Amino acid sequence: VVLIRSRKVGLVNRLVQLAILAYVIGWVFVWEKGYQETDSVVSSVTTKVKGITLTNTSSLGTRIWDVADYVIPPQGENSVFVMTNVILTLNQMQGRCPELPDDTTICTAKEDCAPGYVGTHSNGIQTGECVLYNSSIKTCEIFAWCPVENDSYIPKPAFLQEAENFTILVKNNIWYPKFNFTKRNILPTINSTYLKNCIYDSQTDPFCPIFRLGKIVEAAGQNFQEMAVEGGVMGLQINWDCNLDRAASHCVPRYSFRRLDSKDSAHNVSPGYNFRFAKYYKDQNGTESRTLAKAYGIRFDIIVFGKAGKFDIIPTMINIGSGLALFGVATVLCDIVVLYFMKKRYYYREKKYKYVEDYELVSS
């Protein structure tokens, strides 16, 4: 190996070393905090929704809707469903009635109906009779909860339009087991008076744990009244990225919002979010009836993520050692540049390597 004195070679070597030094200090230690031990968050979430609205319809009359009516179920695991629209079928009782008309249920005679037949979308079991559905259409008779639900028309605007003014209180407790660090999103600086009056705002109240439903949807770039008609799924994200080398007061939650279900106009088959439930009754004679509800609404999923870091000598020494080892790469990179990319690469190659002839010793 021949030592070559050249300003260009020395400059290349220094530039490579500076780049490695910048990577180790800037990226590994400053940006990625390579001197810290890290841990992932363990979290628990509880929610509480508040809000009352009034509806006045021909089928239900004047009615008040409170939390017990539109939050289903009352408690969920890291999520809460708020009903915003509904199709109600009142006073259903088990008996015989005509099926809803479609390609498989419309009939003209008894022979068109098969006793005991149950289709994928049937509301009951066919009896084998063909009966009048209305004055112009006949359908197969079924044994079912009658009258059957007709969900061909979804109420527009949404039945509970005022749901955008409802609020949700999110209580989140987090724990970093490696550092035995715990905290909750109701910060020590928040008192009961403030909690009763605050509503989350990213500018004025970024740490208030009470969220207006309409604002959550709006912050995700969606229109609440449009989403309320057929429902959807919203994500309320809580990020706990904490540097535990600083005071605990600096470890605070950061909130963000996004729509989780797909809203693609080109693929809009079975959009939104809905399910059915029923409330059952018995009269004095023991006759059972029910009210069937097809509920459309918004499910709010609370997603908690984050990590914490704290100084530890072991990752610090490992990253320092790795950084020092990288300086050995400087010589290799310098050789590559000098021997393959510089104008005088042939001259440097002749000086770096000494070529000898290969011959065999012939024995006498």
Q: Is beta strand 288-305 parallel, antiparallel or unpaired with respect to 232-239?
A: parallel
Q: Is 344 annotated in some ligand binding site?
A: no
Q: How many other CB atoms are there within 10 angstroms of residue 234's CB atom?
A: 25
Tell me: is residue 239 an annotated ligand-binding position.
no
345 in a labelled binding site: no
Of 148, 139, 134, the C-alpha closest to 112 is 139
Q: Which two tokens stand for residue 281?
A: 């009754």
Does 299 carry a binding-site annotation?
no
Closest C-alpha among 50, 52, 41, 43 to residue 80: 50
The alpha carbon of 235 is separated from its chain's Cα centroid by a whole number of angstroms, namely: 4
Q: Does the annotation flag 258 for ligand binding? A: no
274 assigned binding-site residue: yes
Amino acid sitting at position 274: N
CA distance 266 to 263: 9
49 is in an annotated binding site: yes
Q: Say whether 275 counts as a known binding-site residue.
A: yes
Binding residues: 48-50, 167, 274-276, 294
**Which residues does the annotation place in the binding site for ATP?**
48-50, 167, 274-276, 294
